């Protein structure tokens, strides 16, 4: 399972109250599950090369690639994502500084104008560089930023999973009103996340090709569906490594200005 992962809305949630239909389980059960899922993805650092395929509503494919590095875990982490393809966006970089108690800070570096720009909270619902991931989807979120309710159990891709509803706490600014998360019972890896704005399902993130990488169950393929636009983006993680040596000075505004 992929922690920050990027887009992985690592999110998870716990709630002290029950919000859905069917059988309600104790909120502590849901939080325990999510906490364990987060714990199992703890790593001092992460690096991968992301291959993106953006499928528009007509099925037309656009390819992009980026490199991703993260230092720290969950709410204490910093991440830098840098495009390496297509050539016209080479060098575009995003710095994400995650916080345990609130939404992340984000800055984007655009080499064509040699400027960085802070991504405001209210702008994070927009798509990230033509992909179906929003800026918010690129954050790594800590378990304590959400409330959770265990809704039950379902199978995702033949894998028995817990179905959990998460709701952002008031201190946690989010475009999503709530999310439904499926966590596999065998590995505590995320299997699916569905994001809602009010009662409308707007984005679905599917995790597949789950492999054990250096002891961490990680989805090597993530597919984000924008259900409003009818488009989707498939992200494949290549050359994935955990706990490698990274320097803190490479995760600053000055650093992303270096090409």
Partner 1 sequence: MKALLLLLVLVPAAAGAQTFSQRGFVEGAGVLFPQEAPNDSTRAVGDLRVRDEVFYKPAPWIQFAAGLDLRANSHDRVEKSWRVDYSDRGVRDPRLSVRRLSATLTRGGFTLDVGKQFIRWGKTDIVTPTDRFAPRDFLNVIDTEFLAVSAVRGVVQVGDETFEAIWAPRFTPSRIPLLHQRWTAVPPAAAAIPIADIGASLPAGYEAGVRWSHVGRRIEYSLSYFDGFNHLPAIRSEVSLAPPRIAITRLYPSIHAYGADLAAPTPWFTVKAEATYVTSSSELSGNDVASGNDAADDYVLYVLQLERQSGEWVFVGGYAGEAVTRSRTSLVFAPDRGLSRAVVARASYTLDANRGVAFEGAARQNGRGMYAKAEYSQARGQHWRATLAAVAIGGHADDFLGQYRRNSHATLTLRYSF
- Which chain residues interact with partner 1 by CB under 8 A? 54, 56, 62-63, 84-88, 90-91, 105, 111, 113-115, 118, 120-123, 126-127, 130-131, 231, 247, 249-250, 252-255, 258-259
Bridge partners, 210 (sequence order): 219
In the complex, minimum distance from the CB of residue 45 to partner 1, in angstroms, rounded to a whole number: 14
Nearer to partner 1, 66 or 190 (CB): 66
List, in order, residues 6 or more apart from 18 with CB less than 8 Å away. Answer: 24, 27, 149
Nearer to partner 1, 18 or 55 (CB): 55
Q: How close are the terminal C-alpha atoms of the chain, in Å?
A: 30
In the complex, minimum distance from the CB of residue 65 to partner 1, in angstroms, rounded to a whole number: 10
Residue pair 81/138 in contact by the 8 Å Cβ criterion: yes
Which position has the token pair 């909270």?
121
Nearer to partner 1, 91 or 152 (CB): 91
In the complex, minimum distance from the CB of residue 196 to partner 1, in angstroms, rounded to a whole number: 17
Residue pair 146/11 in contact by the 8 Å Cβ criterion: yes
Structure-block tokens of residue 184: 């596999």
In the complex, minimum distance from the CB of residue 213 to partner 1, in angstroms, rounded to a whole number: 20
What span, in angstroms and rounded, lies between the C-alpha atoms of 103 and 101? 7
Nearer to partner 1, 91 or 159 (CB): 91
């Amino acid at each position: 399972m992929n922690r920050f992962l990027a887009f992985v809305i690592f999110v998870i949630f716990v709630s002290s109250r029950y919000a859905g239909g069917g059988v309600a389980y104790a909120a502590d059960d849901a939080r325990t599950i999510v906490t364990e899922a987060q714990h199992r993805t703890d790593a001092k650092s992460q690096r991968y090369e992301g291959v993106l395929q953006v499928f528009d509503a007509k099925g037309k494919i656009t390819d992009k690639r980026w490199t991703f590095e993260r230092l720290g875990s969950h709410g204490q982490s910093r991440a830098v994502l840098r495009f390496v393809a297509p050539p016209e966006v080479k060098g575009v970089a995003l710095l994400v500084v995650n916080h345990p108690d609130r939404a992340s800070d984000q800055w984007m570096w655009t080499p064509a104008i040699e400027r960085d720009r802070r991504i405001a909270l209210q702008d994070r619902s927009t798509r990230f560089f033509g992909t179906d991931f929003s800026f918010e989807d690129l954050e790594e979120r800590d378990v304590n930023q959400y409330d959770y309710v265990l809704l039950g159990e379902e199978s995702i891709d033949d894998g028995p999973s817990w179905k959990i509803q998460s709701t952002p706490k008031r201190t946690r600014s989010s475009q999503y009103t709530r999310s439904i998360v499926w966590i596999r019972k065998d590995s505590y890896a995320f299997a699916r996340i569905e994001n809602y704005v009010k009662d409308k399902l707007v984005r679905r993130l599917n995790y597949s090709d789950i492999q054990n990488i250096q002891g961490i169950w990680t989805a090597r393929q993530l597919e984000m569906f924008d259900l409003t636009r009818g488009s989707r983006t498939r992200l494949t993680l290549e050359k994935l490594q955990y706990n490698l040596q990274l320097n803190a000075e490479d995760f600053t505004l000055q650093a992303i200005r270096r090409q």
